[in-house]
Structure 1
Amino acid sequence: MVLNRETLNALSRSFRALVFEAREAYQPLWPRLAAEVPSESRANYYAWLESLPQVRKWVGERQVQNLAAQTYAIENEKFEMTVAVAREDIEDDQVGLYSPLFRQLGIKAAEHDDQLVFTLLREGFTRKAYDGKPFFATNHTIGKKTVSNRGNVPLTRENFRAALAQMRAITDERGSPLGFFYRKPIYLVVGPALEATALEIVGVQTLSGGGANPDYQAAEILLSPWLVDEAEPYWFLIDGAQALKPFVLQRRTRPEWVEKESPETSDETFKRDVILYGLRERKAAGYLFWQLAYGSTGTGT
């Protein structure tokens, strides 16, 4: 292949098409846990609701229910992915070898959104939420009450039921039930090490000792590849039935295709005899409504 502007432009378009076709075909997990919010500046500022309005019987004049709020900022970050294609591979018409690579780039670009959101789960026992406490904490406050969305118990049938009961018991500052964790979908999020345990609790119709499983489909299992190593025993419950979500995926820019391809002017071509292609985007993931998520370290301590 002759390296000129026309052929390089055509090659770039071909690589770009492979990347974005694979990205669009990817089936993400994060929309089950996070709301997508556009961003028009360096950061988004969320006026967080501390109490939710309740419907009441209209007697006399309306009663205005003020929405107390806190301001919570999530700042966008910049991400990139860059690959080098050897110049001689282009000259020798070997670019077909790169087609699977660029498809995989598209998959990894889409998967990164999942990684950001599931990392929020993994790090939620230490990273702060809008109230200045860890997202999963035993000392959140609603009005004058102290409320917990955290446990340290291992994943068992009894602990699964207790966690559901704990989250269902949360009320607002007036004592009215929030009504969370009653409607499906409810997600039981685990890593590979706990998949079999989760299946035994909510994924099979018949108990191992015989008889119907009363917890069958009480939650939908969501398997996360990022819950490994020290996070191996972690497990989570997420209420996926609400308009609100526990997390946010904030987008400043969508992935942009960038290239540094001219063999006449590119420093990389001159120094390394390669042509560079890549992606650039700005986004962030952050914590929102802790009342919709329960997390346990599974350590028992």
Structure 2
Amino acid sequence: MSIEVNKQNLDVLYLCLKKAFQNAFDGVKPLYPALTTRVPSTAAAEVYGWATDFPAVREWIGERELHKLTEYEYAIKNRKFESTIVIPADKIADNQLAMYNNITAEMGQQAAQHPDQLLFELLRSGASAKGYDGVPFFGEHRVAKGSSASGTLSNALLAASKDDTKAPWYLLDLSRALRPFIWQEREKYRIDALTDPRQSHEVFMRDEYLYGIRGRGSMGYGFWQMAFMSNLELNAANFTMLRQRMVSQRNSAGNMLGIAPSVLLVGESNREAAFYIAQAQTLAGQAPNPNYGLVDVWVTPYLD
């Protein structure tokens, strides 16, 4: 059955495509909400103030101790993203739209998963990209006096040579109000249409209608103290070494921060090793596994 290409029918088509996009978008369960602190953005970039130490609750003796979150400033610039399809007018007139409905649904899934891609790009570049304190996010950090004898602490257990370098794996504390990473959302992903020949060169000159996704936002680094990584082999010894380093963190008063990993995040290549470390109840010979249940194991294809 043919369709007259007019404003009314184009509006109905847009609503159908928009519904397909949104239903598919809502059906996706991405990882990034659990790993990030969501920060609404109202500008082209947002500037964050950070302190070197976690403000701790202490007995009030004398005057208050003031913790100013301005020792470091860290700016995250928003980025703009799009994905656009073209539907020829003849396809609409001939009612050949089933494929475009499916494509629009796929675009909805891709839009919902896109922040995951940004997050794992951030993770993979963390050994060189700088965090709020001006050093690589996964690297040697200056810590407050009293929290470390050397005055520094590394949240990375890195291979000494290329031959020893393996797929990265991460220990994350996702139990706190603040998360290791920031999802800065300027404009939610949405689908728009350009179907008016008075506004669109494509409609007037090519007899084509445009439907596209648009969104603005950016991923950034948060508290490095809650994210530790290694590119050494994922085995029990390296897991224990990195975990011990993470849970041993103290504040400037020498008190434990209480940070402990809740998630072991790995790629597909480390899935089996992660299972034997954290999910198997017994080791070879039926010995109890001391790491059983210490962390949840999350597997993602984005890390390989």
TM-score greater than 0.5 by the shorter chain: yes
- For 1:202, the equivalent position in structure 2 comes to 278
Name the SS for the 1:78 alignment partner: strand
Measure, in 2, the Cα distance between the counterparts of 1:48 and 1:68: 5
Measure, in 1, the Cα distance between the counterparts of 2:264 and 2:236: 12
How many equivalent residue pairs? 223
- For 2:233, the equivalent position in structure 1 comes to 154
- For 1:211, the equivalent position in structure 2 comes to 287
Name the SS for the 1:132 alignment partner: coil
Shift of 1:173: 2.6
State the TM-score, normalized to the length of structure 2: 0.69
The runs of at least 4 aligned residues of structure 1 exceeding 6 Å deviation read: none
Q: Deviations over 1:69-95 (max 9, x none)?
A: 221111111110111223332222121
- For 2:255, the equivalent position in structure 1 comes to 176
Alignment partner for residue 23 of structure 2, among 18, 21, 24?
21
1:65 is the counterpart of 2:66? yes
1:220 is the counterpart of 2:296? yes
- Residue identity in the other structure for 1:114: D
Shift of 1:103: 1.1
State the TM-score, normalized to the length of structure 1: 0.70
- For 2:266, the equivalent position in structure 1 comes to 190
Q: Deviations over 1:228-260 (max 9, x none)?
A: 2xxxxxxxxxxxxxxxxxxxxxxxxxxxxxxxx
Identity of aligned residues (%): 34
- Residue identity in the other structure for 2:152: T
Which structure has the higher relative contact order (CA within 8 Å, separation 6+)? Answer: 1
Q: Deviations over 1:1-31 (max 9, x none)?
A: 1111111111011101110111112112111
- Residue identity in the other structure for 1:226: Y
Name the SS for the 1:164 alignment partner: helix
Measure, in 2, the Cα distance between the counterparts of 1:20 and 1:133: 40
Tell me: CA distance 1:86–1:200, structure 2 relative to 1, closer, same or farther (3 Å): farther
Shift of 1:220: 1.0
Name the SS for the 2:302 alignment partner: coil
- For 2:143, the equivalent position in structure 1 comes to 142
1:89 is the counterpart of 2:91? yes
Measure, in 2, the Cα distance between the counterparts of 1:205 and 1:88: 62
Measure, in 1, the Cα distance between the counterparts of 2:4 and 2:278: 60
CA contact (8 A) 2:20 2:101 kept: yes
How large is the Cα RMSD of the aligned pairs?
A: 1.6
Gap runs ≥5 in structure 2: 146-150, 159-231
Shift of 1:208: 4.0
